[in-house]
Amino acid sequence: MTPADTLRFATRAATGYPLRTALMVLAMSIGVAAVVVLTALGDGARRYVVNEFSALGSNLVIVLPGRTATGGLGLGNIITSTPRDLTVRDAEALLRAPLVTRMAPLSVGNSEIAYGGRLREAMVVGTNGDYVDIRAFRMAEGSFLPREDLGRASAVAVLGTKLREELFGSEPAVGRMVRVGDRRLRVIGVLGKTGQGLGMNTDELVFMPVATAQAMFNTNNLFRIIVEARSREAIGPAKQQLEDIMRLRREGELDVTLITQDAVLGTFDRILGALTMAVAGIAAISLAVAGILVMNVMLVAVTQRTAEIGLLKALGATGRNIRLAFLTEAALLSLAGAITGYALGHLGAWGLRLAFPVLPAWPPDWAVFAGIGTALTTGILFGVMPARRAARLDPVQALSRR
């Protein structure tokens, strides 16, 4: 019996019992679809996080007030002691670290911005001229904040592209005066489109000198200081230098937290690694269940087709012929299940992307291959026992069964 004939024979057998075949394909496809959807979710989350942090710029150390218990889960830190404020003076002092190239203080608050008749809620970010380079933003119009003494409260502002769109429409924005809170500021630039970054959409922000913002919100403290190290390798030593400087300024006590991207990404890596393990577990269970189903369905098929097996033996089929025919049938059913599951999984991933547009929920290639491969392997593995049973049937007794 040639392989082509075995394949054809098995195909006819599979299509000869449509209900059984459909049920088995469904069971197998649920397993594969689970793998595809769950890994799409996991990998989507991973990619989301990576994108968020790489949008932040590279080689960055973020300084925030207060000591955190865990040291590094990002923005929602648990502050354990009442910290001293982080000030513009601290920020300036940090620049003395030899491995630090640039620094940008951040002071953040909510206010309203108005131009002409249009009024809008906006998030205000007070910072300095280096911020645009640290974050590697591009200017669409004009220039970013001037590089000047951090104490100068110049009455200038830079708008995010979406904010500019909403306030000015097609009118030119650079040179116009806008009102932010109780101040009138001159628009000196508009940022290019940047999209999401660390939970705040830069396109909807209004930037101004840190002193202007602090005066507007009547405060002296900073929300965060972003420090750029000389290189990726310098991040560790730079962090050490920054800590030393801060400790010196706080009479030996370190009451700030320094976060590096690596630490943050490492945390997420651990979380996402655990997630992947869970996914693999669920997938393994669902595929094992599908495999047991394959085995039972094939055992029923062997029983149903006992007379046929006896006949094939009488016609001169070897045990090997029969084993291969049943194994091929099991493999075909698993393959059909795997392909259906792959399609279903992609449908599910598409649904996820519709439901959560920020999540790039695409199943990774390895998961797709692993899912289909596992489905085929389980199908064939669990098909071996029924196939062997079929091949070992006594032809005389098989033929006497009707």
Interface residues with other proteins (CB under 8 A) are 1-2, 5, 9, 12-13, 16-17, 307-308, 310-321, 395-396, 399, 402
Report the distance separating Cα 236 and Cα 383, nearest Å.
55
Q: To the nearest whole angstrom, how small is the minimum distance from the Cβ of residue 15 to other proteins? A: 8
Question: Which CB atom, from 9 or from 217, has the smaller least distance to other proteins?
Answer: 9
Nearest alpha carbon to residue 206 among 227, 179, 225:
179
- Write down the residue that tokens 């030899």 correspond to: 98
Angle at 141 between CA 135 and CA 147, to 5 degrees: 55
CB 18, min distance to other proteins, A: 11
H or E segment to which residue 108 belongs: strand 100-115
Most distant CA atoms of the chain, gap in Å: 102
Smaller CB separation from other proteins, 142 or 319? 319
> Residue 19 or residue 315: which is nearer to other proteins going by CB?
315
Please say which residue, 80 or 318, places its beta carbon nearer to other proteins: 318
Q: Is 21 helix (H, G, I), strand (E, B) or coil?
A: helix
Query: Whole-angstrom Cα distance, residue 303 to residue 189?
Result: 79
Give exposure, 311-332, as e/b (b: 16+ Cβ within 10 Å): ebbeeebeeebbbbbbbbbbbb
In the bound state with other proteins, the residue whose beta carbon lies nearer, of 96 and 320, is 320
DSSP reduced 3-state for 4: helix
For other proteins, the closer CB: 277 or 307? 307
Nearer to other proteins, 16 or 273 (CB): 16
Closer residue to other proteins in complex, CB, 69/307: 307
Taking the alpha carbons at both ends of the chain, their separation in whole angstroms is: 26
Burial letters 186-199, b for 16+ CB under 10 A, else e: ebbbbbeebeebee
204 DSSP 8-state letter: G
* Least distance between other proteins and beta carbon 306 (Å): 11
When the beta carbons of 12 and 270 are compared against other proteins, the nearer one is: 12
Distance CA 261, CA 187 (A): 32
Instruction: Please state, in angstroms and as integers, the Cα–Cα distance from residue 75 to each residue in 136, 228, 287, following that order.
Output: 21, 18, 39
Q: Which residues contact 161 (CB under 8 A, 6 or more apart)?
A: 140, 190, 191, 192, 193, 194, 203
Q: Quick one: angle between helices 261-304 and 306-314, nearest 10?
A: 70
CB of 34 to other proteins, least distance (A): 32
